[in-house]
């Protein structure tokens, strides 16, 4: 019985260590590098927040809220960050609907897959950019998540936006590494780990 317990304990520890190692070495394994294209799926302010952090820490990036698949054909990008979460105000100002956003981002994802460009799905505005933080009947935040996250190579999420375990479930189902952070300022450390800055 004692030997059996030791074997089980050793197996559990080994599995945990492998999972931890896989997540931490992820950027090296699939070569997540600069330059980076930052865009949004839903025109939320989260993409601007990502831009601020990357500009402050001197990343090589291009910020385009209305980025298109053609940009990937005409420019050299080594990774893409798509910030999920929709803003009715932002889409209204841009003159687009959630349907327009989904079609645009779907084309970007397809072209990125074609070129083997790593995609990072980032949900960085927390609970405010989930259905519980939206107007009654507005599920555009969740639609944005549904499109991008299952097709990403890595998911970044602020922990309060994952209270219901939605991102954890997607990551587990699709075998996608997931990186969580608690506070806005912690995002800088997450980006540093990914891009080895």
Residue 100, Cβ density class (10 Å: 0-12 exposed, 13-18 middle, ≥19 buried): middle
pTM for the model: 0.83
Give the pLDDT of residue 132: 58
Q: What is the pLDDT along the chain (197 residues), one digit of tens a residue?
A: 444 344 334 333 333 333 333 444 454 466 799 999 999 999 999 999 999 999 999 999 999 999 999 999 999 999 999 999 988 889 999 999 999 999 999 999 999 999 999 999 999 999 887 855 445 556 899 999 999 999 999 999 999 999 999 999 999 999 999 999 999 999 999 999 999 87
Strand partners, 125: none
Give the pLDDT of residue 129: 78
Give the pLDDT of residue 29: 61
In CATH terms, the superfamily for domain 31-195 is Response regulator (3.40.50.2300)
Residue 177, Cβ density class (10 Å: 0-12 exposed, 13-18 middle, ≥19 buried): buried
Half-sphere exposure (Cβ direction) of 120: Cα atoms closer than 13 Å: 30
Do 121 and 55 form a contact (C-beta atoms < 8 A)? no
The set of residues, in sequence order, having a beta carbon less than 8 Å from that of 196 and lying 6+ positions away, is 27, 28
Q: How far is CA 82 from CA 21, 53, 69, 118, in A?
A: 25, 15, 13, 11
Give the pLDDT of residue 131: 59
Question: Distance between CA atoms of 84 and 77, rounded to whole angstroms?
Answer: 19
Give the pLDDT of residue 137: 53
Give the pLDDT of residue 139: 85
């Amino acid at each position: 019985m004692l030997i059996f317990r030791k074997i089980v304990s050793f197996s559990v520890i080994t599995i945990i260590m492998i999972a931890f190692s896989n997540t931490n070495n992820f950027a090296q394994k699939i070569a997540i590098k600069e330059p980076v294209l930052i865009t949004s799926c839903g025109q939320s302010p989260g993409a601007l927040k990502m831009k601020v952090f990357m500009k402050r820490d001197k990343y090589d990036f291009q910020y385009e809220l209305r980025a298109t698949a053609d940009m990937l054909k005409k420019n050299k990008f080594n990774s893409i960050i798509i910030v999920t979460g929709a803003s009715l105000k932002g889409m209204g100002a841009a003159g687009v609907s959630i349907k327009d956003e989904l079609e645009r981002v779907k084309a970007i994802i397809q072209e990125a897959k074609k070129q083997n460009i790593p995609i990072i799905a980032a949900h960085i505005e927390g609970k405010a950019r989930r259905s519980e933080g939206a107007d009654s009947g507005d599920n555009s935040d969740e639609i944005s998540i549904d499109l991008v996250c299952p097709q990403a190579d890595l998911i970044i999420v602020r922990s309060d936006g994952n209270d219901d375990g939605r991102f954890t479930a997607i990551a587990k189902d699709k075998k996608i590494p997931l990186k969580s952070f608690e506070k806005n300022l912690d995002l800088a450390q997450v980006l540093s780990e990914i891009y080895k800055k």
